[in-house]
A and B are shown apart, each in its own frame.
Chain A
């Protein structure tokens, strides 16, 4: 069952070879068997049975869509009306969403089966899912290792066969890095491709919701269901812009590799070897691989850890115990703020403080403004290598390893945030520049206790997710 694509499963459902109930029960059995050990779900929804009936009716009436009856897991920072969305934080542990996020309302039209909400780093801050206030999720390939983060629950859910697809969110690599660590496919769409309405914000100028799955075709299918212009998110692209980009040119076969970034990224030998063989495989499939230079992107991670905390410090200001979440009483208003915000975890507090520092009058120019400049310059780097509007043709896709190492051990980096941040060194540039990026499995690498998955990251020009899907399928076929 886990080898089937959504399209194949949909076919079985339509032919009545299986029922929605059988399909869902199969996945619930896997959850029952593995979840206690892996720590993926924060909640299994109580209305699954009702949804199964509705989906089956839709199929029986001949009104089924592609995702009808397909089980899906949702990251705990994506709002679903009437359900708790806690972002794995104590401060909004019991917060019930009063409305659906746009991605959820789009999916609901299809009647998929929402199985439950899955674990993450608190407010999506982290690269290992160890920062959850509730539980630690384990890597399905080695339970002593992390699944990556912050969408560690979403990646483990699909990699362990609990659900065929899941939704995550990616601010600096939070879909791609766990996909790489767990051996699945994860897409961070172009900034503005998918609506952020109803996503609990971390870094608003970087956040994107995206799908994870066990194959490219599933991730592609879910992406086309959730993308689109949304009047409730002013940063989403219009339909005409999307069409214009996608019809503008057929993708060629030139792949650029920024070797100067990869060699300075603290990459492990096994991951580097794995990446080299991935490039060889692409060459064998008719791609041309060339060296490219992205000079300002060398500072992308430096800039990221200024821009993100700056945005975190303002986005987290709403969690003060006043309008929602938990309020911890105090003698005056200020004490109530501080008492309530004590419910936030260490990493969240640390990022709020760093953000406050880089935005303070005395340091604003040296930090925030400079980071913003690096961001603009990095975007120019990308525009240049992808070719300019005057018709000068550049490369079609950029390839890097998704992460500099494979999954690390639980507890290894939790006390050294800077070292933890390095896990995002190859992924942040797609968020800083806004381009779409995907992580696909590129085989296993040898680690201490056995083999662990590694990932290949591909980045395409703005709104060219279609190019990512095409090259990924060529690579994996």
Chain B
């Protein structure tokens, strides 16, 4: 099984360098090959059916603020690597 690791790393936003690249391609290939044995199982479940979803239930609720949490906004802002006037600061996108 041939895997284009360079392309995959780009897709994953992961840069592979140095010792990380040693054996990586072989390891990923062998794991995917091993996992692909699931394809031997016959039968499939319709992805739109209740059976596919199983026991998962709908948990939507009204879009109103509930203060279930014990933390303050400032606790979260303080853990930002960089902030400006209470906003998360990131590099410009455009």
Contact = CB atoms under 8 A, between A and B. Distances in A.
Is the A/B pair a real complex?
yes
B90 A352 contact: no
A352 B44 CA distance: 26
A418 B3 contact: no
B14 A366 contact: no
B27 A417 contact: yes
B67 interface: no
Nearest to B80: A323
B26 to A, nearest CB: 10
A465 to B, nearest CB: 18
Contacts of B37: 299, 302
Contacts of B8: 353, 356-357
A346 B21 CA distance: 9
Contacts of A313: 12
A370 B32 CA distance: 13
Given A99-B75, A302-B35, A353 B5 contact: yes
A341 B14 contact: yes
B28 A354 contact: yes
B16 A305 contact: no
Most chain B CB atoms below 10 A, which of A322, A325, A353: A353
Contacts of B52: 372, 376
A360 to B, nearest CB: 7
Contacts of B27: 350, 416-418
Interface string A76-103: 0000010000000000000110111000
Contacts of A231: 68
Nearest to B83: A323
A254 interface: no
Contacts of B62: none
Given A99-B69, A341-B15, A366-B39, A376 B34 contact: no
Contact of A95 (B20, B32, B79): B79
B62 to A, nearest CB: 14
A371 B35 CA distance: 9
A372 B31 contact: no
Contacts of A337: 13
B41 A322 contact: no
B64 interface: no
Contacts of B79: 95-96, 98, 323-324
Interface residues on B, range: 35 or more
Nearest to B14: A349
Contacts of B41: 296, 299, 370, 373-374, 377
Given A346-B20, A349-B20, A302 B34 contact: yes
Interface string B73-88: 0011011111000001
Interface stretch (A213-221, A270-278, A326-334, A401-409): A326-334
A332 B91 CA distance: 6
A326 B81 contact: yes
Contacts of A323: 79-81, 88
Interface string A288-326: 000000001001001101100000010000001111111
A324 B82 CA distance: 9
Contacts of B80: 323-324
Contacts of B34: 302, 305, 418, 421
A357 B3 contact: yes
Nearest to A313: B12
B35 A367 contact: yes
Nearest to A232: B68
A306 B36 CA distance: 9
B9 A353 contact: yes
Contacts of A105: 70
Nearest to B18: A342
A63 interface: no
Nearest to A419: B30
Nearest to A415: B23
A299 B88 CA distance: 44
A339 B68 CA distance: 35
A257 B72 CA distance: 51
A336 interface: yes
A140 B79 CA distance: 37
A234 interface: yes
6 contacts: A323-B80, A323-B88, A330-B91, A344-B14, A350-B24, A379-B54
Interface of A: 81, 95-96, 98-100, 105, 231-232, 234, 296, 299, 302-303, 305-306, 313, 320-327, 330, 332-334, 336-339, 341-342, 344, 346, 349-350, 352-358, 360, 366-367, 369-374, 376-377, 379, 415-418, 421
Q: Which 10 pairs from chain A and chain B are nearest by CB?
A: A98-B75, A327-B81, A356-B12, A234-B59, A98-B71, A333-B91, A99-B71, A302-B37, A338-B15, A370-B38
Given A100-B70, A370-B41, 6 more contacts: A303-B35, A333-B92, A333-B93, A353-B5, A354-B31, A371-B38
